[in-house]
Amino acid sequence: MDLKNILVAYDSSSFSNRAFKSALDIAEPNKSKITIVTVVTGIYQPSIGFSMKFSKDLLEKNTRMLKKLFSNLQTMANKKGISISLKILNDPSVSKAITNYVNSHKFDLIIIGSRGRTGINKIILGSVANEVVNKVNIPTMVVK
Amino acid sequence: MAITNILVPFDGSTYSVKAFNAAVEIAKRKDAKIKVLTCLEKENLGAWYVDKRVNKQIIKDAKEFAMGFLSKLEKIAKDSDVSLSVDILEAKSISKQIVDFANSKKINLIVIGSNGQTGFNRFLLGSVSNAVSQSAKCPVLIIR
């Protein structure tokens, strides 16, 4: 199993932070590259109607916030000598965006937190994690 | 996340062989121990209403068969200097047995194949790997 490219699905929740940490653990001996993918969903605005359009202000705000979070992650990775890159996707469906991105690029492993920002139940998988695990065609690691 | 104990649920299928090979590679880099678990389904053998001894005979044969392919794994592990222990358990529910085993033996990582002996759709998860990834308390690596 060659692990040159690792993808981490990230949404700044505690579970995805744990996923990132275990990605660093795996990347260190393998000298692999880490890509962090985040999906910014469309925000429903009554003025636009029922079409899912991106509000520009919120999109900019989210992107700025993500870049800030990313720089934190980058300092963590630099300490271990691992190069990471950020990819922001815009899509109304988070799981679809991640699976399409994974299946159209060459990654060796995807690491995902068992659940994200929403949800209380810690026993079963979150909806995004479940769908990604089911539909992706590369090895997947679910971090609890 | 320190990986010291890796569990590989094994059923002799090509997916589980792939999972075992991946586990050996991880264990080599991390100096981890591998536990291989084979579960034999106790109920629904179909012969219990005829004669209970038939059931026992079936389990006995299955155990011998399982030991046959598990001894091959021991050879692979010895070649790459990884310590390996093998367990064969009888269980009513295989996924539940795997999760219970992982909880009681302080497993840090479960490496499991995406499908098992049954199942034909390689794009969806098998029932056991789905149940294990949902309800296990440690990270789960799914190999495809």
Interface predicted TM-score (ipTM):
0.81
Beta bridge partners, B142, equal: A140, B112
Task: Kindly provide the b/e burial profile for residues B98-115, where b requires at least 16 CB atoms within 10 angstroms of the residue's own CB.
Answer: bbebbeeeebbbbbbbbb
**Confidence at A109, pLDDT banded by 50, 70, 90:** very high
Q: What's the pLDDT tens digit per position in A59-78?
A: 788 889 889 999 999 999 99
Residue A121 Cα to chain centre, angstroms: 20
For A31, left (φ over 0), alpha (ψ -120 to 50), or beta?
A: left
**Confidence at A121, pLDDT banded by 50, 70, 90:** low
Average pLDDT of the residues in A6-17 = 90
Q: Say if CB A106 and CB A56 are below 8 A apart.
A: no
pLDDT of residue A52: 54
Residue A6 has pLDDT above 80, yes or no: yes
pLDDT of residue A104: 93
pLDDT of residue A119: 60
Average pLDDT of the residues in A40-49 = 63
The answer to whether B123 faces chain A, any CB pair under 8 Å, is yes
User: Per residue of chain B (144 residues), what is the pLDDT tens digit?
Assistant: 688 999 999 988 889 999 999 999 999 988 899 999 999 887 665 655 666 677 788 888 889 999 998 999 999 999 999 999 999 998 888 999 999 999 999 999 999 999 887 766 666 788 899 899 988 999 999 998
Q: State the Rg of chain B over Cα.
A: 15
**CA quadruple A1, B2, A79, A71: dihedral, nearest 10:** 80
Q: Say if CB B19 and CB B143 are below 8 A apart.
A: yes
pLDDT of residue A29: 85
Give the Å distances, CA to CA, from A37 to A15, A25, A57, B43, B55. Answer: 15, 18, 21, 45, 51
Q: Closest approach of chain B CAs to the CA of A19, in angstroms? A: 9
- Closest-approach residue (CA) in chain B for A23: B1
Q: Closest approach of chain B CAs to the CA of A56, in angstroms? A: 36
Residue A107 has pLDDT above 60, yes or no: yes
Name every residue in A having a CB less than 8 A away from some CB of B: 1, 18, 21-22, 25, 29-30, 123-125, 130, 133-135, 137-144
